[in-house]
Amino acid sequence: MTKTEGITKYLVFSLGSEYYGIPIETVREIIRFEQLTPVHDTQEYIMGVINLRGKIIPVMDLRRKFGLPFREYTDKTVLVILDIPGENGVYQVALSVDAVHEVTTPGDGDMERIPEIGMKLKRDFLTGILKTGGRMTMILEITRIISSDEIIRMEGAKRE
């Protein structure tokens, strides 16, 4: 398998010792952790919202979404602000991650298919595995992680 068609660069970040990549064109910006305002009656992985230059943005904890142990937020926690297409335009959501490492461009042959066994839950969220620099980076399909229903619910909450 070669590069994903139309996507040439990925932002690489980590959760613990696992590396993940997302298409760079979905990334609006990367910021240090900011104080969250809790929002009640949401999914357990929606940790709250932040006010980013007057815009209210929900924060999704990928550790919780993937069933990994929760880690307290520190000044080293990073928020990756994404632009996600929704029914009413582009919606922004922040992903909390442990660290951001690099932007990488895969070469031909660097991308592998997802193994058929051993990746039960995460397999639904992955499009491939990138092999670069002696490490494996799991490439995420952000629209599978944040479903259309979640976007609609967040958009509805944003308007209220």
Give residue 31's identity as a one-letter amino acid code. Answer: I
Q: pLDDT tens for residues 78-117? A: 999 999 877 777 888 999 999 999 998 887 668 777 766 6
User: Which helix (H) or strand (E) is 29 found in, with range?
Assistant: strand 27-32
CB atoms within 10 A of CB 156: 10
- In this structure, what token pair is assigned to residue 158? 């944003």
Q: Which of these CATH numbers, 1.10.760.10, 3.30.1050.10, 1.10.1740.10, 2.40.50.180, describes 10-159?
A: 2.40.50.180
The whole-number average pLDDT for the span 14-34 is 92
Nearest by Cα to 26 from 77, 89, 90, 76:
90
- In this structure, what token pair is assigned to residue 120? 């039960």
pTM over 0.85: no
The whole-number average pLDDT for the span 30-58 is 89
What is the reported pLDDT for 128? 82
In the chain, where the domains are located: 10-159
